[in-house]
Amino acid sequence: MTGVLAQASPDGVVGSSAEFWMFCLAAVLALGTGFSVVVLRNAVHAALMLVINFFAIALLYALLEAQFLAVVQIIVYAGAIMVLFLFVLMLLGIDSETRFSDRVRGQRTAAVLLGLALLFVLVGAAAGPFLDADAICPVQGGAGDLCVGLEAANADGNVAGVGRLLYTTYMWPFEVTSALLVIAALGAMVLGKRRGDEDVTDLPVAQDDETEPAPEPAGELVAAGEEEQP
């Protein structure tokens, strides 16, 4: 099944007015909510704005006929990551309008500079192909050609297309990324366990830790945990 917008514009290349207006809606929503995330003082409100931002970006993906990416964006970012964020915010009770001072000196300056650098890189990557008239679509090769590879890429369906790319051409980056994420998660667990041992003992969860060994999946972790236990 092709996207709703492809039905609205049979040629599927030149944006129809519906696609244009949907893009405007999604873009305004994404920018507005993104700005609110920075400006809002209430941490939970800011997190909710980020959730709406993720939905706006999912809408943009859907407009580009990347259905799979859109739905994964919702499942992973809105459904898993932001829920965990909210969970922590609620547990720690950082919902009052507190103003945090800089933990690291020069944090703000660095954030602004790095943010600007990222902006330049992204704009360069996105707009680069369009700056030179000969290179509008390197795949199609013709000067002034628009990229019309979408139907070919989605021939077997969007899901199959993404899956094939992910497990053939981009297999190595994909696996490296997942290994990186696993390492990060394990590292967080190790660090969290070391620091939390003394002051968490009065929580009911800690009693369970005493009676049964924690079910860490990896050997190093159990070793690290056992060192701590008297």
Binding site for other proteins (CB under 8 A): 1, 7-8, 44-45, 48, 51, 67-68, 70-72, 74-75, 78-80, 83-84, 86-87, 90-91, 95, 157-159, 207-208, 211-213, 215, 217, 222
- Which residue number, 8 or 37, has a Cβ lying nearer to other proteins? 8
Q: In angstroms, give the least distance from the CB of 22 to other proteins.
A: 16
- Which residue number, 146 or 160, has a Cβ lying nearer to other proteins? 160
| Angle of helix 82-92 versus helix 43-63 axis, rounded to 10 | 180
- Which residue number, 4 or 123, has a Cβ lying nearer to other proteins? 4
Q: In angstroms, give the least distance from the CB of 148 to other proteins.
A: 20
Q: In angstroms, give the least distance from the CB of 168 to other proteins.
A: 16
What does the alpha-carbon distance between residue 224 and residue 221 come to, in Å, rounded to a whole number? Answer: 5
Per-residue three-class SS string for the chain: CCCHHHHHCCCCCCCCHHHHHHHHHHHHHHHHHHHHHHHCCCHHHHHHHHHHHHHHHHHHHHHCCCHHHHHHHHHHHHHHHHHHHHHHHHHHCCCCCCCCCCCCCCHHHHHHHHHHHHHHHHHHHHHHHHHCHHHCCCCCCCCCCCCCCHHHHCCCCHHHHHHHHHHCCCHHHHHHHHHHHHHHHHHHHHHHHHHHCCCCCCCHHHHHHHHCCCCCCCHHHHHHHHHHCC
Q: In angstroms, give the least distance from the CB of 173 to other proteins.
A: 22
- Which residue number, 30 or 77, has a Cβ lying nearer to other proteins? 77
- Which residue number, 15 or 79, has a Cβ lying nearer to other proteins? 79
Q: In angstroms, give the least distance from the CB of 158 to other proteins.
A: 6
Q: In angstroms, give the least distance from the CB of 96 to other proteins.
A: 11
- Which residue number, 143 or 160, has a Cβ lying nearer to other proteins? 160
